[in-house]
Amino acid sequence: MREAVRHVQVTEEYAGQRLDNFLKRLLNEVPRSHVYRLVRRGEVRVNGRRASPDQRLQAHDTVRVPPVRTAPAAGPARVPPQLIETVRKAIVMEDERLIVIDKPAGIAVHGGSGLSFGVIEALRAMRPHETLELVHRLDRDTSGCLLVARKPGALRTLHALLREGRFEKRYLVLVRGKWELGRKRIDVPLRTDIRVGGERTVKAHPSGKPAVTEFRPVQFFGRRATLLEADIHTGRTHQIRVHAAHAGHPVAGDEKYGDDEFNASMREFGLTRMFLHAHSVSFEWPQGEPFSVNTPLPADLSAVLDRLSGPVRGGEGRRGARRRRAR
């Protein structure tokens, strides 16, 4: 079976990897000798240029992966129908260049790390005759705006905008305590190559990669919590979560970098996952045409804010309120 040309963006997870190893992961059914021939012939390109097998890739590089004839294998038809339907319902807009998904929390953007399928596999199953590629990524537990390119040219353009910092992504995030920093720019490098017990952990460290996040308070909930808007100027792994914790205000429901006691108190208000939502994406196409899309907070997160704004007093959550009424 012969696949279509793919243009794959290198994520931070694979930054620094050799091109031949990167290709072997993508073409795991293709003999390594054939992978080397593809590279030598110039059929594989990195950012539109010829490359050598030992070239080290950088984050946001775009790798052209040519069509390769392989034996028939399980393909998009195996994607669970329920996932396909969920992704279909999550499409909020599309044009000739892009599809915008309001990604639900709990669904990965692509298969891997023990998951067979994600958003992109479901989309490809729905539209087998299109060449669809993720423009950027969201963590599995993060909801909100996810862009998928329908044409290689659009993908290359958007990756260039990402590299140049002309692609604006804003998030809504609930954090612990009363944010008294006003509009705060956090410029703290992040190490994204640390593993603890085999699991990736990101840490603020002077030797890390540049990372900039701007936080702006949107709504206060006494001294208990604050809803912030976060604008990321770089796209480091777990950037908002680590920067918020670095500022002393960890994200509600964050089991990796958060505060256990605060998370437990937020469960009293109905929070069942991390409170982080990608609510807007905006940029300008090279021709000068502006693009902007917004997705509202999902119902589960809106309900948490409603309960926080309610009549519950002091340190009580819903169970405390029930105890008070019982008296």
The per-residue pLDDT for 174 is: 98
Mean pLDDT over all residues of the chain? 88
- Better pLDDT: 56 or 212: 212
The per-residue pLDDT for 315 is: 47
Topology of domain 166-317, CATH: Pseudouridine synthase (3.30.2350)
- pLDDT-wise least confident of 45-49, 218-222, 311-315: 311-315
Is 139 tagged catalytic? yes
Q: C-alpha 235: how far from its chain's center?
A: 9
The per-residue pLDDT for 112 is: 67
Residue 13 in this model has a pLDDT that exceeds 80: no
Confidence of residue 67 (pLDDT cuts 50, 70, 90): confident
CATH match of 77-164 with 3.30.2350.10 = yes
| Domain boundaries of the chain, sorted by first residue | 1-70, 77-164, 166-317
| Strand runs labelled E in the chain | 6-9, 45-46, 49-50, 62-65, 91-94, 98-103, 133-134, 143-149, 167-176, 184-187, 190-196, 199-204, 212-221, 225-232, 276-284, 290-294
Domains 1-70 and 77-164 agree in fold: no
The sign of the CA dihedral 164, 131, 10, 201 is positive
The per-residue pLDDT for 317 is: 46
Q: Which of 20, 54, 95, 139 is catalytic?
A: 139
The per-residue pLDDT for 193 is: 81
Residue 118 in this model has a pLDDT that exceeds 70: yes
CATH match of 1-70 with 2.30.40.10 = no
The per-residue pLDDT for 234 is: 87
Would you call 318 helix, strand, or coil by DSSP? helix
